[in-house]
Amino acid sequence: MNTFLSYLSITALFAFVLLPVLLGLAREGRISRELREAERRREERLPEAAGAAQPLTATRRPYLRSWARI
Residue 36 lies in a domain: yes
For 35, the domain range is 20-45
Residue 59 lies in a domain: no
- Cα separation, 42 vs 27, whole angstroms: 22
- What does each C-alpha distance from 49 to 9, 39, 42 come to in angstroms? 60, 15, 11
Residue 67 lies in a domain: no
Residue 64 lies in a domain: no
- Cα separation, 32 vs 38, whole angstroms: 10
- What does each C-alpha distance from 28 to 20, 47, 52 come to in angstroms? 12, 29, 33
Residue 31 lies in a domain: yes
pLDDT in tens, 47-66: 665 556 666 666 666 666 66
To which H or E segment does residue 4 belong?
helix 2-45
Residue 2 lies in a domain: no
pLDDT in tens, 5-45: 999 999 999 999 999 999 999 999 999 999 999 999 988 88
Residue 1 lies in a domain: no
Per-residue confidence (pLDDT) for residue 45, from 0 to 100: 82
